[in-house]
C-alpha cells in the first residue's frame, strides 16, 4: 500500500478513536449517580441496548479468533457460530425479560448483587465469591481484547504491537472511566454499525475476487485437507462427538452468565423496548455470523494456508489487500470497535464487582453517590492497567484466552442463572457450591489433558449444573428463608 493509502487509513482510525473518546468526555460532564454509572439509569432505548449487547458479545474472538479458526478448519467451523447463534436467540427469548423484571423487583445494579439478594442467609458469601471470580476472569478477558488491538494495528501498518496495544488500551480506559455504562452503551452503538458493515462488505468483495480469478471454492477446500471440505471435518464416532461438543459449547456461555451481557437485559425499561431490542439483536447476529463464516471460507480460497503467519489476522489481511484505503480504514476501525466494546464492558464488570459489590455492599462502607462513582473510575483505571500488563506479558492467542475466560465466567454463572430462574428448589448453598466448582473446573480442566478431548467450556457448564442440583437437594433453604425472600420482594 502506498504512502497516501496508509495515511488515509491512519487518519480514519484516528478520527474514529477521537470520536469514541469524545463520547466519554460528553458523559463525563454530566452529573452521574451510581445507577447511571452502573446501569444507565433506565434512560437508554432498547435498540441501543441491543446494539450494545451484540457489540459487547462479539469481541476480538469473532473478528480475529473465530474467523481465523474457520480459515484454518474450513466448513466444520460453522458449529462454533451455530452454538453461539442459538445461545443468543435463547438469551433474548427466555432470559432478557426475566432479567428486566428481576432487576426492578429487587432494585439491584449488578449480577452478583442480584444473586446475593435472592439468598439472604448466604448473601455476603455469594456476593463476594461472585464479584471476585467475575472480576478475576474479566481481567483475562480484557487482556485478550487489548492483545487483539495491538495485533490488528501491527498487521495493517507494522506499528509496534506494544505501542499499538498501549495507545488503544489507554483510550478504552479513558472513555470507560469517564462515562461508565452510559458512554459504553453509546460507543457500542456506533461500533455495532461498523461491525455489521464489515461483514457485509468484506464477503461480497472477497466473492467478487474469487469469481474474477475463476477460483473453485470446493476445490480449494479439498486441497486444504484435514476435512476442510466436510461439514463435520471428516470425523466420525467419538472424534466427531468431541468436536461438536467443543465447538457447540460456546452456546452455554450465552445463557445469562456473562455479566457484561446480562447488564444490558437488566437495563431494559419495558416490554415495548424489549420487543424492539430482541429483533435488532436477532437480525444483527444473523448478518454478522453469516458474514464471519463466509469471510473465513473465502479467505481460505484466496490465501492458501501458510500465506499468513498468524491465522487470526486473516480478516485484517483481506481488508488491507482487497479494499481501497478509504474503505479499509473504516473496516479496520470496525475490528477495533469489536475489541474495544468488549474491553470497555469488561472494565465495568470489574469496577462494579470491586466498588459496588465488595466495597459498598459486602464491606458496608457507606458513601455518597458521587464518591462511589469516583471510586469506580479509579477501579476502572487500575483494572485497565492490570489487563494491559497481562496482555503485554502473555503470549497466549486470543481464541485461547477468551475461551478460558468464557468457561470461568459464562459457563459457570449460566448454570447458576438457569437454576435460579427455572428451578425453585435451588438453595444458597447450591449456588455457592456451583460458583466454587465452576472456578476450579475452568482452571483445572483447562490445564489437564482432558481439554484436548472436551473443552472446559462444555465440561464446566454440566459439572456446575450437576453440583448445583445435588448441593441444593442435600442442603435446601429453610422455609423461613423462602418466606423472607418473598417478603423482601414485596
The residue among 284 and 147 whose pLDDT is bigger is: 284
Whether 334 and 323 have beta carbons less than 8 Å apart is answered as no
Are 251 and 85 in contact by the 8 Å Cβ rule? The answer is no
Confidence of residue 23 (pLDDT cuts 50, 70, 90): confident
Angle between helices 123-157 and 369-393 (to 10 degrees): 50
> What CATH topology corresponds to 3-396?
Sodium/glucose cotransporter (1.20.1730)
Backbone angles phi, psi at 365, to 5 degrees: -80, 115
Q: What average pLDDT score do residues 433-445 get?
A: 90
Report the phi/psi class of residue 394: left, alpha or beta, with left for phi > 0 and alpha for psi in -120 to 50: beta
Residue 482 has pLDDT above 50, yes or no: no
CA separation for the pair 126, 439 (Å, rounded): 13
* Per-residue pLDDT reduced to its tens digit, 80-136: 899 889 999 999 999 999 999 999 999 888 889 999 999 999 999 999 999 888 888
| SS (HEC) of the chain | CCHHHHHHHHHHHHHHHHHHHHHHHHHHCCCCCHHHHHHHHHCCCHHHHHHHHHHHHCCHHHHHHHHHHHHHHHHHHHHHHHHHHHHHHHHHHHHHHHHHHHHHHHCCCCHHHHHHHHCHHHHHHHHHHHHHHHHHHHHHHHHHHHHHHHHHHHHHHCCCHHHHHHHHHHHHHHHHHHHHHHHHHHHHHHHHHHHHHHHHHHHHHHHHHHHHCCCCHHHHHHHHCCCCCCCCCCCCHHHHHHHHHHHHHHHHHHCCCCHHHHHHHHCCCCHHHHHHHHHHHHHHHHHHHHHHHHHHHHHHHHCCCCCCCCHHHHHHHHHHHHCCHHHHHHHHHHHHHHHHHHHHHHHHHHHHHHHHHHHHHHCCCCCCHHHHHHHHHHHHHHHHHHHHHHHHHCCCCHHHHHHHHHHHHHHHHHHHHHHHHHCCCCCHHHHHHHHHHHHHHHHHHHCCHHHHCCCHHHHHHHHHHHHHHHHHHHCCCCHHHHHHHHHHHC
Q: How many CA atoms lie within 13 A of 352 on its CB side?
A: 29
Residue 244 CA to residue 365 CA, distance in Å, equals: 48
For 157-186, the pLDDT digits (tens) are 677 888 888 888 888 888 777 767 777 788
Average of per-residue pLDDT values in the chain: 84
Residue 99 grid cell: 432479567
Domain extent listing, the chain: 3-396
* Cα(170)–Cα(388) distance, integer angstroms: 9
The radius of gyration of the chain's CA atoms, rounded to the nearest angstrom, is: 22
Give dist(CA 250, CA 65) in Å, integer: 13
Q: Are 89 and 282 in contact (CB under 8 A)?
A: yes
| C-alpha span between 147 and 403 (Å, rounded) | 14
Say how far apart CA 109 and CA 285 lie, in whole Å. Answer: 26
What are the C-alpha distances in Å from 206 to residues 183, 210, 223, 312?
35, 6, 19, 17
pLDDT at 4 over 90: no
**Residue 487 pLDDT class (50, 70, 90 cuts):** very low
pLDDT digits (tens, 9 = 90+) for 207-249: 999 999 999 999 999 999 888 999 998 888 888 888 888 778 7
Amino acid at each position: 500500500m502506498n504512502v497516501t493509502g496508509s495515511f488515509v487509513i491512519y487518519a480514519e482510525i484516528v478520527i474514529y478513536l477521537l470520536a469514541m473518546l469524545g463520547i466519554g468526555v460528553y458523559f463525563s460532564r454530566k452529573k452521574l449517580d451510581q445507577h447511571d454509572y452502573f446501569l444507565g439509569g433506565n434512560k437508554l432505548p432498547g435498540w441501543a441496548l441491543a446494539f450494545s449487547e451484540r457489540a459487547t458479545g462479539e469481541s476480538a474472538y469473532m473478528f480475529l479468533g473465530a474467523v481465523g479458526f474457520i480459515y484454518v478448519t474450513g466448513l466444520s467451523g460453522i458449529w462454533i457460530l451455530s452454538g453461539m447463534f442459538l445461545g443468543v436467540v435463547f438469551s433474548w427469548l427466555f432470559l432478557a425479560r426475566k432479567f428486566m423484571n428481576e432487576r426492578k423487583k429487587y432494585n439491584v445494579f449488578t449480577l452478583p448483587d442480584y444473586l446475593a439478594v435472592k439468598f439472604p442467609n448466604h448473601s455476603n458469601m455469594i456476593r463476594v465469591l461472585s464479584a471476585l471470580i467475575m472480576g478475576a476472569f474479566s481481567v483475562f478477558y480484557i487482556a485478550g481484547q487489548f492483545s487483539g488491538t495491538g495485533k490488528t494495528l501491527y498487521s495493517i501498518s507494522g506499528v509496534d504491537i506494544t505501542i499499538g496495544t498501549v495507545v488503544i488500551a489507554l483510550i478504552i480506559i479513558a472513555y470507560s472511566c469517564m462515562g461508565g455504562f452510559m458512554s459504553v452503551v453509546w460507543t457500542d452503538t456506533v461500533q455495532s454499525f461498523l461491525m455489521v458493515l464489515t461483514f457485509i462488505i468484506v464477503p461480497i468483495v472477497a466473492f467478487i475476487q474469487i469469481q474474477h480469478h475463476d477460483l473453485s471454492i470446493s476445490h480449494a477446500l479439498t486441497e486444504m485437507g484435514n476435512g476442510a471440505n466436510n461439514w463435520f471435518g471428516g470425523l466420525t464416532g467419538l472424534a466427531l462427538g468431541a468436536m461438536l461438543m467443543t465447538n457447540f459449547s460456546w452456546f452455554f456461555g450465552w445463557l445469562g452468565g456473562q455479566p457484561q451481557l446480562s447488564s444490558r437485559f437488566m437495563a431494559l425499561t419495558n416490554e415495548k423496548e424489549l420487543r424492539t431490542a430482541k429483533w435488532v439483536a436477532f437480525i444483527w447476529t444473523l448478518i454478522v455470523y453469516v458474514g464471519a463464516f463466509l469471510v473465513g471460507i473465502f479467505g481460505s480460497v484466496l490465501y492458501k494456508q501458510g500465506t499468513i503467519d498468524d491465522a487470526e489476522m486473516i480478516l485484517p489481511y483481506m481488508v488491507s489487500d482487497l479494499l481501497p484505503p478509504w474503505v479499509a480504514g473504516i473496516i479496520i476501525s470496525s475490528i477495533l470497535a469489536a475489541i474495544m466494546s468488549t474491553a470497555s464492558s469488561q472494565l465495568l464488570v470489574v469496577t462494579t464487582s470491586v466498588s459496588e459489590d465488595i466495597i459498598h455492599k459486602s464491606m458496608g462502607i457507606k458513601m455518597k453517590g458521587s464518591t462511589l462513582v469516583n471510586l469506580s473510575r479509579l477501579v476502572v483505571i487500575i483494572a485497565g492497567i492490570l489487563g494491559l500488563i497481562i496482555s503485554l506479558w502473555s503470549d497466549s492467542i486470543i481464541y485461547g484466552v477468551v475461551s478460558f475466560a468464557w468457561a470461568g465466567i459464562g459457563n459457570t454463572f449460566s448454570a447458576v442463572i438457569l437454576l435460579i430462574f427455572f428451578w425453585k428448589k435451588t438453595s444458597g448453598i447450591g449456588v455457592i457450591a456451583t460458583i466454587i466448582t465452576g472456578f476450579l473446573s475452568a482452571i483445572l480442566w483447562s490445564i489437564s489433558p482432558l481439554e484436548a478431548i472436551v473443552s472446559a467450556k462444555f465440561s464446566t457448564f454440566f459439572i456446575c449444573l450437576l453440583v448445583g442440583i445435588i448441593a441444593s437437594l442435600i442442603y435446601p433453604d429453610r422455609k423461613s428463608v423462602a418466606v423472607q425472600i418473598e417478603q423482601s420482594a414485596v
